[in-house]
């Protein structure tokens, strides 16, 4: 059986490998000149940056974590997480509710007082259940933590009002903090949140692309890059997949590419399905990569909720992830800016974006312009799935249609789910386990 896999990102490559190991004939069709999707990396002038934003290797899923670590065996650096939030010119421990002692006195009182009041009100049944993401934030963390950090940061990264976002996705992704930990953090007793990230791995050489390269190694000759799928047709019991000049024939077709591209490539799609697909919201991403002469803060990554500090929502320091990510005597900084497709950010020149990020980093006293020895900009049109209030209705219509035409959806932008790398790999493993005949 020949299986065509549309998309050569992390999900597509992992799926192809597992199906290949099971004896299937697979072909991966990737539109870009290189495979890897959001998990590609670039190395220039001795600096290594991930072009799809900051990636680290961690997971609560022991099977997936073992798989990822096996892929980078003998090329792994393990790190203790040291993550901060830049709040009112101070570094606050992450997650915010575990760093309340770092806040100014009035903000600390505001956060702990409102957290306890809200917790008591919830226990007494005095608060109605939340119906959107913003209401869930207030219901879970109280007014103080909500207004000091959670709402401003989430609206900065999602570029979408939190009261117009669904809350179906938050349980498990945003843990509910134990009241004991929040009180301890407010009085200066150290507590840890998101403990599954407390130790993370990263490839010593090659950036995160080293992970996908290792996954792809047994199927290198089955990957077609530069093949932009423009049509997918089922004819005579087989799929005919074309890029406009060549046709690939396969017994089965599995999509890991953005579902918007798949729907466009299909014939006879009902209007209601097209409309539902068009209504699915997502953010694009700009990464500004900067190399400096000198050291960077001893921080893994840093969240920036304040609008006054510019467009950047997160900064990571790749040279702290891997000793080989920057030349000797240098450090590296990766600044992320999420934005809506087609907005003003998407039209900004690289030089303007770099200048804006440098202004932010100077204001935070992380660097001076004189230290900069390297800079570049990377853009990703698909980065984050945005869960608006109509998401569940629209994605159900799209998924049902794809199922009806016999094309399974696997991975982040095909399933259209906010999946981290481990979530993508879990979706692949689950698919393979549930489809023994594939």
What average pLDDT does the chain have? 96
Question: Band of the pLDDT at 299, cuts 50, 70, 90?
Answer: very high
Mean local confidence (pLDDT), 273-296: 98
pLDDT tens track for 230-273: 999 999 999 999 999 999 999 999 999 999 999 999 999 999 99
Mean local confidence (pLDDT), 72-89: 97
Say how far apart CA 438 and CA 422 lie, in whole Å. 22
Mean local confidence (pLDDT), 289-306: 98
Q: Directed axis angle between helix 133-145 and helix 151-158, to 10°?
A: 140
Residue 369: what pLDDT?
97
- How close are the terminal C-alpha atoms of the chain, in Å? 8
What's the chain's Rg over C-alpha atoms? Answer: 23
Say how far apart CA 216 and CA 39 lie, in whole Å. 12
What is the secondary structure of 297-323 as a DSSP string? -S-SEEE---GGG-S--EEE-HHHH-T
Mean local confidence (pLDDT), 331-349: 97
Question: Band of the pLDDT at 67, cuts 50, 70, 90?
Answer: very high
Say how far apart CA 302 and CA 296 lie, in whole Å. 12
Residue 173: what pLDDT?
74
CATH number of 2-37+205-280+388-434: 3.50.50.60
> Is the pLDDT reported for residue 169 higher than 80?
yes
Torsion over CA: 60, 64, 68, 70 (sign): positive
- Tokens coding 267: 């014939």
Mean local confidence (pLDDT), 341-369: 97
Q: Could you give the 3-state DSSP secondary structure of residue 132? A: coil
Q: Kindly provide the residue ranges of all beta strands, DSSP E only, lying in 36-177, ordered along the sequence.
A: 41-44, 47-50, 76-80, 84-87, 90-93
Cβ(56)–Cβ(249) below 8 Å: no
- Residue among 306, 235, 304, 282 nearest 413 (CA): 282
Q: 349 CB contacts (<8 Å, ≥6 apart)? A: none
Residue keyed to tokens 């109280």 = 142
Q: 341 CB contacts (<8 Å, ≥6 apart)? A: 282, 283, 284, 381
Share of the chain above pLDDT 70, in %: 100
Question: Band of the pLDDT at 68, cuts 50, 70, 90?
Answer: very high
Residue span(s) of the chain under CATH 3.50.50.60 come to 2-37+205-280+388-434
> Is the pLDDT reported for residue 311 higher than 90?
yes
Say how far apart CA 277 and CA 383 lie, in whole Å. 16
Question: Band of the pLDDT at 81, cuts 50, 70, 90?
Answer: very high
What are the φ and ψ backbone dihedral angles of 327, each rounded to 5 degrees?
-65, 160
Say how far apart CA 385 and CA 18 lie, in whole Å. 26
pLDDT tens track for 7-40: 999 999 999 999 999 999 999 999 999 999 999 9
What are the φ and ψ backbone dihedral angles of 424, each rounded to 5 degrees?
-65, -45
* Number of Cβ within a 10 Å radius of residue 196: 14
Q: Could you give the 3-state DSSP secondary structure of residue 374? A: strand
Question: Band of the pLDDT at 437, cuts 50, 70, 90?
Answer: confident
- Taking the whole predicted model, whether its pTM rises above 0.85 is answered as yes
Mean local confidence (pLDDT), 33-57: 97
What are the φ and ψ backbone dihedral angles of 236, each rounded to 5 degrees?
60, 35
- Residue among 112, 92, 165, 159 nearest 134 (CA): 165
Mean local confidence (pLDDT), 360-372: 98
Decide: residue 323, CB within 10 A, 0-12 exposed, 13-18 middle, 19+ buried. Answer: exposed
pLDDT tens track for 172-220: 677 778 889 889 988 899 888 777 789 999 999 999 999 999 999 999 9
Q: Classify strands 47-50 and 314-316 as parallel, antiparallel or unpaired.
A: unpaired
Residue 123: what pLDDT?
93
Say how far apart CA 140 and CA 155 lie, in whole Å. 17
Residue 209: what pLDDT?
98
The CA–CA distances, whole Å, from 368 to 37, 143, 264, 359 equal 33, 37, 47, 9
pLDDT tens track for 105-151: 999 999 999 999 999 999 999 999 999 999 999 999 999 999 999 99
Window from 90-94, 190-194, 223-227, 383-387 with minimum mean pLDDT: 190-194
């Amino acid at each position: 059986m020949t299986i065509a896999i549309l998309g050569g990102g992390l999900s597509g490559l992992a799926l192809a490998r597992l199906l290949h190991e099971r004896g299937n004939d697979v072909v991966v069709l990737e539109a870009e000149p290189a495979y890897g999707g959001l998990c590609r990396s670039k190395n220039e002038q001795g600096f290594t940056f991930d072009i799809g934003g900051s990636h680290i290797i961690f997971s609560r899923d022991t099977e997936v974590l073992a798989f990822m670590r096996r892929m980078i065996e003998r090329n792994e650096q393990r790190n203790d997480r040291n993550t901060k939030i830049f709040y009112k010119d101070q570094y606050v421990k992450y997650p915010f509710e575990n760093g309340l002692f770092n806040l100014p006195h009035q903000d600390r009182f505001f956060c702990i007082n409102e957290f306890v009041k809200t917790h008591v009100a919830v226990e007494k049944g005095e608060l109605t259940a939340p119906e959107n993401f913003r209401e869930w934030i207030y219901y879970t963390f109280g007014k103080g933590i909500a207004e000091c950090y959670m709402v401003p940061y989430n609206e900065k990264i999602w570029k979408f009002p939190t009261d117009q976002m669904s809350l179906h996705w938050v349980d498990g992704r945003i843990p509910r903090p134990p009241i004991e930990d929040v009180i301890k953090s407010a009085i200066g007793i150290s507590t840890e949140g998101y403990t599954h990230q407390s130790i993370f791995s990263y490839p010593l050489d090659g950036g995160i692309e080293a992970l996908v390269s290792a996954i792809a190694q047994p199927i290198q000759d089955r990957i077609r890059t530069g093949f932009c799928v423009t049509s997918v047709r089922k004819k005579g019991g087989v799929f005919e997949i074309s890029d406009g000049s060549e046709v690939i024939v396969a017994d089965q077709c599995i999509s890991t590419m953005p579902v918007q591209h798949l729907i466009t490539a299909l014939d006879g799609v009902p209007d209601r399905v097209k409309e539902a697909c068009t209504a699915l919201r997502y953010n694009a991403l700009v990464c500004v990569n900067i190399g400096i002469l000198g050291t960077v803060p001893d921080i893994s990554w840093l969240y920036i909720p304040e609008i006054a500090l510019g467009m950047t929502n997160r900064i990571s320091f790749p040279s702290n992830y891997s000793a080989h990510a920057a030349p000797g005597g240098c450090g590296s900084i990766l600044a992320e800016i999420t934005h809506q497709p087609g907005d003003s950010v998407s039209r900004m020149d690289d030089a303007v974006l770099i200048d804006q990020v440098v202004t932010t980093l100077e204001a935070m006293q992380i660097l001076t312009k004189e230290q900069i020895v390297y800079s570049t900009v990377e853009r990703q049109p698909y980065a984050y799935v945005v869960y608006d209030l109509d998401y569940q209705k629209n994605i159900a219509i799209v998924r049902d249609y794809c199922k009806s035409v016999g094309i399974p959806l696997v991975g982040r932008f095909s399933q259209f789910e906010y999946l981290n790398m481990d979530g993508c790999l879990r979706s692949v493993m689950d698919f393979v386990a549930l489809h023994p005949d594939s």
